[in-house]
Structure 1
């Protein structure tokens, strides 16, 4: 009976596997090949240069500067987003607050806005003279700043927007995970004298750890990209003084401004392996014994 099913199953798999190979694997293969050439994007022929493009990446100050900014984002954005989302989710799910459903909708609202809308919105928020943020600070007697024009503040301003736009999704994700925890476990911990913070760290966090892992991976991928929000919000873009330059923006500029498609493909391949390495490190580094709930 099993052998009779194999042709039937294979028949259903042919079309989706073919589409996957053509639409997903083929572009990857083309990018890997172009990364080994000096293709300029306008010619059908390209000279094979081997690993020269990858060697140039290590000596390109713009790439190294972008990598530094991505590293800062990779350190700040996932941690800030996960910590804030866990706190808000715990307040909504474990505190039995009235109107929790309304708060979830409010927190999730930024997910309904496209990156372009978010970027333009916060351009107005950060406007030095008439922006909302400086207006509030002036009312409090605090001098406003040029948030996107100061090299020491621009990247932090962008990261704050990334956290704001992402945290709502993970609040909903963590709320769903926390509400699946049996109340008896939390009540037993409370009877044993555990404080709310202790219950969150010692009881809740291990039980939702797989969700936290997923959050770190996706947020890490967003931090390694950062192209769209930087492209829309910052001057230059990537400024001021390359303070917000990221790898995705460097890739875009090399391809569509300088016409170095081969070099840009090499940068894309490097970014692909950085993302893959990040996912592997997070999964292996944060691996722990699965906690089963009775």
Structure 2
């Protein structure tokens, strides 16, 4: 009987594992292999060059800029997004005042409407969001500078995406705006599973909202927060940062490489410059950064699991 069970499990997992190996593991292996060649991506012919691509990468100033920008994306965007989403979810689910005849713990008035409003950016493609904010940041006719002019601050007209000191922060703000709603809904679902008796007991003990948030909500949601942090970091290192930088910035990646991130640099080297081997080398570095980020978050966020 036991032998039959293991045969069933092996048979059930064979096809999914085979597909995963073909479409996920094998491309990683190919990328690592091509990083040791001079393949252009335009011809099937190539030759082995050893670690020349890695030596070039270490000496590439643009690569180091893109690495630094990607690290900023991976650290700051999840930090702001998760923190803001936790606050908004707490207010929507727990932060309301007690109403006469109602439960002791409730969300603010109109909480259902707020959830819809917060989640709305998720309905839009990140491409559409990037195009909308490209117009919003327009220094001549954009909504932000027009609003500054309307309130008498016409002399304060930043170039936004045209300013090397502001462009990266503007792009990161768009990623936060586009993704925070998803985590508000995610954390709201997690908070709904926390027994109301825990909040009521905290309130009876004299705990305020600040104490309740950090002593009850965050510890009981920590597994969800940790998973969300890793997920958001991977998004910030990959598709989200690529889309907004590619669409919104001059160059793209400018001005003066001030918004170039690793995933965009991979794309440019592979499809613009015809240097596929060097692009795969940067891709391997991006893989190492992503794995290191996930491992670091899981390690630093490890704590005893709470049961309730």
Into which bin does the TM-score normalised by the smaller protein fall?
Answer: over 0.9
How many Å separate the matches in 1 of 2:72 and 2:14?
44
Measured after TM superposition, the shift of residue 156 of structure 1 is 0.7
Number of aligned residue pairs: give it.
293
Measured after TM superposition, the shift of residue 235 of structure 1 is 0.6
How many Å separate the matches in 2 of 1:82 and 1:6?
41
Give the alignment of 1:220-239 within 5 angstroms: 220-225=233-238, 226-239=241-254
How many Å separate the matches in 1 of 2:61 and 2:2?
59
Find the partner of 2:222 among 191, 209, 228. 209
Task: Name 1:30's counterpart in structure 2.
Answer: 30
Task: Name 2:89's counterpart in structure 1.
Answer: 89
Cα offsets for 1:227-262 (capped at 9, x unmatched): 111000001101111111111111111111111111
Other structure's SS at 2:160 match:
coil
Measured after TM superposition, the shift of residue 201 of structure 1 is 1.0
Task: Name 2:143's counterpart in structure 1.
Answer: 132
Cα offsets for 1:104-127 (capped at 9, x unmatched): 111011111111101111011111
How many Å separate the matches in 1 of 2:152 and 2:213?
37
Structure 2 runs not aligned, ≥5 long: 97-106
Task: Name 2:115's counterpart in structure 1.
Answer: 104
Task: Name 1:48's counterpart in structure 2.
Answer: 48
How many Å separate the matches in 2 of 1:129 and 1:217?
38
How many Å separate the matches in 1 of 2:8 and 2:190?
38
* Residue 272 (1) aligns with residue 283 (2): no
How many Å separate the matches in 2 of 1:68 and 1:19?
34
Structure 1 runs not aligned, ≥5 long: none
How many Å separate the matches in 1 of 2:168 and 2:200?
43
Measured after TM superposition, the shift of residue 90 of structure 1 is 0.5
How many Å separate the matches in 1 of 2:15 and 2:31?
24
Task: Name 1:192's counterpart in structure 2.
Answer: 205
Other structure's SS at 2:159 match:
coil
Cα offsets for 1:46-105 (capped at 9, x unmatched): 211222212221110010111121222223211111111011000101022232122111
How many Å separate the matches in 2 of 1:198 and 1:7?
52
Greater than 6 Å deviation, 4+ residue runs: none
* Residue 260 (1) aligns with residue 275 (2): yes
Judging changes above 3 Å, is the alpha-carbon distance between structure 1 residues 36 and 90 closer, same or farther for their aligned structure 2 residues? same
Q: TM-score, normalised by structure 1?
A: 0.96
RMSD value over aligned CA atoms?
1.3
Other structure's SS at 1:70 match:
helix
Other structure's SS at 2:115 match:
helix
Which stretch has the larger CA shift, 37-46 or 195-204? Answer: 37-46
Other structure's SS at 1:111 match:
helix
Task: Name 1:291's counterpart in structure 2.
Answer: 306
Which stretch has the larger CA shift, 223-232 or 95-104? Answer: 95-104
Cα offsets for 1:191-229 (capped at 9, x unmatched): 111110111011111110111111211221122231111
Give the alignment of 1:51-70 within 5 angstroms: 51-70=51-70
Other structure's SS at 2:211 match:
helix
How many Å separate the matches in 1 of 2:16 and 2:236?
31
Other structure's SS at 2:161 match:
coil
Q: TM-score, normalised by structure 2?
A: 0.92
